[in-house]
Structure 1
Amino acid sequence: MLWVLFQIISRPQSNAVHIDVKQSFYVGWLLLAILSSVIYADILTRTISNKLCLSILCVSLLIGFSQFALLNIVIGCLVLLALYGFSIWGGGDSKLAIAFLPAISEQYLWWYLLFIAFLGGVLALIYLIYGCFVGIERVKQNGLPYGMPICLSGLFFIAASI
């Protein structure tokens, strides 16, 4: 098992999966459709489907799997699962954020996580203002649809990584 992991990590950069312009156009629209479904479901039901997370993971692997993807996934998983462990966000949010990691370049990994936090803060502020009008207990009971900041951040940093 360790030998297989070593072989994956030690592959030269030229073995990275790349898609041409026409394919990237279709893959981009596919990713937008999946992300729209995630955001819609998260706003309505506050749940993120495992099938949608797996779909995003497959598209992410198609877009940008390289020798650094495994390292990004390991580092990102540790950070994102720690957020879940400390009850900062739900398991679906962690799975969704992890699904984007293979397509995000290592130079943007921390920026990706910080941008999720920034957009999540903006969302929390909007919901706080909304809670002033409808009652803060109602907003607390429903929670925040954190899938939206994760999807927007993932889309932005996948585009930056290409």
Structure 2
Amino acid sequence: MSNNSIIWWTFLFTISCIICYQDITRRTISNRMCLIVLIICIFLVIKNGNYSSLYYSVIIFLGGFILFIKKVIAAGDVKLISSFFIAINQNYQLLTFTIILLAGGVISIVLLIHKIINKENTTMTVPYGVPICIGCLFGIAASL
């Protein structure tokens, strides 16, 4: 990983922390943040010459759009994961998905335990921007 790549990855990390905070507190992922992630990831793709991941990012976006229409996943999550996946080498995409799913499962279990302990009858949603950021930052670090 070159010094320049570390700087861009650190910038992505900072943006990801902001996204996680907003997703936890407001349950939204802003379009502006997704656009910033997209621009940085496109820059990393151009810098590294990893254009094969663009195809998979479009597939993820289209599949996520279908899941959004069926109300399985939120639109912000789809835009965020599609933006990140542009910069993830195809060799690390399955690993990245696995990390996202495992982190999302851990967060879901923690929220369920919290709900059971506090005997809450409210509907809880999982802030899936958090596991997306965690998994994708690992995938991008591996791809650099």
Shared fold, TM over 0.5: yes
- Please say if residues 45 and 51 of structure 2, whose CA atoms lie closer than 8 Å, have aligned partners that are also in contact: no
Three-state SS of the structure 2 residue aligned to 1:137 is coil
113, 116, 120: which one pairs with 1:132? 116
After alignment, is 68-77 or 94-103 more displaced? 68-77
In 2, the alpha carbon distance for the partners of 1:133 and 1:58 equals: 42
Q: Does 2:37 correspond to 1:56? A: yes
Query: Identity over aligned residues, as a percent?
Result: 32
Tell me what 2:140 maps to: 158
Residue 134 to residue 106, structure 1, CA distance change in 2 (3 Å): same
Tell me what 1:78 maps to: 62
Q: Does 2:49 correspond to 1:45? A: no
Three-state SS of the structure 1 residue aligned to 2:86 is helix
Cα RMSD of the aligned pairs, angstroms, is: 1.7
Residue 110 to residue 136, structure 1, CA distance change in 2 (3 Å): farther
In 2, the alpha carbon distance for the partners of 1:22 and 1:111 equals: 25
In 2, the alpha carbon distance for the partners of 1:68 and 1:136 equals: 46
Once the two structures are superposed, what CA deviation does each residue of 1:114-144 show, in whole Å capped at 9, x if it has no partner?
Answer: 3222211111111000001223423x2x422
In 2, the alpha carbon distance for the partners of 1:116 and 1:86 equals: 21
Unpaired runs of at least 5, structure 1: 1-19
Q: Does 2:130 correspond to 1:148? A: yes
Once the two structures are superposed, what CA deviation does each residue of 1:14-69 show, in whole Å capped at 9, x if it has no partner?
Answer: xxxxxx72212221221111001000111110000100001111111112243313
- Please say if residues 128 and 136 of structure 1, whose CA atoms lie closer than 8 Å, have aligned partners that are also in contact: no
79, 100, 113: which one pairs with 2:97? 113
Higher relative contact order (CA 8 A, sep 6+): 2
TM-score (structure 2 length as normaliser)? 0.88
Cα distance, 1:108 vs. partner? Answer: 2.1
Paired residue type of 1:150: I
After alignment, is 43-52 or 57-66 more displaced? 57-66
Tell me what 1:28 maps to: 9
Paired residue type of 2:117: F
